[in-house]
Amino acid sequence: MTPKGKLIIIGGAINTGSFTETTFGLPQNMNFFERGILKKITTESLKGTTSRFEIITTASLVPERVGEEYIKAFVQLDVHDVGVLNIHSREQANAEENCDRIKAADVIIFTGGDQLRLSSIFGGTAIHQILLDKYQDEPVVIAGTSAGAAASSKNMIYQGSSKDALLKGEVKITGGLGFIDGVIVDTHFVQRGRIGRLLYATASNPGILGIGLGEDTGLYISNGNTMEAIGSGMVILVDGRNMADTNLTDVDMGQPVSINNMTVHVMCDGDIYDLMAHKLTIHHPKVVSID
């Protein structure tokens, strides 16, 4: 069944949402606004600037500051009906008051931080089920940056160093929030050299598509299938369906892993990938000559 909701996943490293993971401040990250990711979230919402937004700061270690940054960011876009939900326990994720707020929201945004907090606090709770139902049955926008993006898929990377990623057992995978299936998402991808993490994750399950989101970059996913790159950076796709061979099951824990014939695609702003057809369409902007 095709979901009526829309999913926007963002690679992170922006002041609004994941600034605690970087030394960057808002003035150095105005591309986030100029390239329109927050604006995209707003324009794709049911009521535009009058939509009800809920910011879920659960993943962050400084939720109050993160919530304030989001409120300030959306004020710049003339969005004023913004609430912050700092849910830090499963009891709160089942609380009727918080459930009612999620039911009434047109846009729900998961901030950056630790994606394992998202899966362990929300997994199987009343709010989690409400979100899954809303995404399937209503024109809601669910967005996530950094940890919020990583937790959006059914499979989720939650640990693994970049430099040792292709050693057996280094990359840790668990279940995510499951808004989209058939993919696995990694964030801060280009800047932190995480290609090894995604290669390993895809080699261990070649039927899923690895998605590496660069910083200040995202994917706008509609119909549960059409993925459009947005933002100023790159999205790396790792497709393991045609992988010829790997020694993953033969080597000991901690030993390097070999992979033969993995397909890699690079997406930039405006490019579209069809998850059903496994087809990438590259956007070729028209070049306007200057006389």
Average the pLDDT over 139-158 and give the result. 94
Query: pLDDT value at position 13?
Result: 56
Q: pLDDT band for 21, please (50, 70, 90 cuts).
A: very low
Domain boundaries, the chain: 6-279
CA angle, corner 118, sides to 161 and 102, nearest 5? 150
Task: Give the pLDDT confidence of 233-275 residue by residue, as tens digits.
Answer: 899 999 999 999 999 999 999 999 999 999 999 999 999 999 9
CB atoms within 10 A of CB 252: 7
Domain spanning 6-279 has what CATH number?
Answer: 3.40.50.880
Place of tokens 């499963």: 90
Higher pLDDT, 290 or 194: 194
Query: pLDDT value at position 126?
Result: 98
* Spatial distance between the Cα atoms of 17 and 145, rounded to a whole number of angstroms: 7
Q: Are 248 and 204 in contact (CB under 8 A)?
A: yes
Task: Give the pLDDT confidence of 194-217 residue by residue, as tens digits.
Answer: 888 899 999 999 999 999 998 888
Q: Are 142 and 114 in contact (CB under 8 A)?
A: no
Task: Give the pLDDT confidence of 28-52 residue by residue, as tens digits.
Answer: 443 444 347 899 999 999 999 999 9
* Spatial distance between the Cα atoms of 214 and 60, rounded to a whole number of angstroms: 20
Task: Give the pLDDT confidence of 158-206 residue by residue, as tens digits.
Answer: 887 777 778 998 888 999 999 999 999 998 877 777 888 899 999 999 9
* Alpha-carbon separation of residue 213 from 86, 87, 237, 257 (angstroms): 25, 26, 9, 23
DSSP states of the chain as a string? ---SSEEEEE---SHHHHGGGSS--GGGGTHHHHTTHHHHHHHTSTTGGGS-EEEE-TT-SSHHHHHHHHHHHHHTTT---EEEE---SHHHHT-HHHHHHHHH-SEEEE-SS-HHHHHHHHTTSHHHHHHHHHHHHS--EEEEETHHHHTTEEEEEEE--STTTTBTT-SEEEE---SEEEEEEE-STTTTT-HHHHHHHHHHSTTSEEEEEPTTEEEEEETTTEEEEEESS-EEEEE-TT--EE-TTTSPTTSB--EE--EEEEE-TT-EEETTTTEEE---PPPPP--
* Spatial distance between the Cα atoms of 260 and 175, rounded to a whole number of angstroms: 27
* Spatial distance between the Cα atoms of 213 and 245, rounded to a whole number of angstroms: 26
Report residue 231: phi and psi, to 5°: 105, -170
Q: How many residues does the chain have?
A: 291
* Spatial distance between the Cα atoms of 15 and 33, rounded to a whole number of angstroms: 11
Contacts of 105 (CB under 8 A, 6+ apart): 52, 53, 54, 83, 140
* Spatial distance between the Cα atoms of 200 and 259, rounded to a whole number of angstroms: 9
pLDDT at 18 > cutoff 70: no
C-alpha atoms less than 13 angstroms from C-alpha of 205 in its C-beta half-sphere: 18
Q: Are 121 and 93 in contact (CB under 8 A)?
A: yes
Write down the mean pLDDT value for the chain.
88
Average the pLDDT over 92-119 and give the result. 96
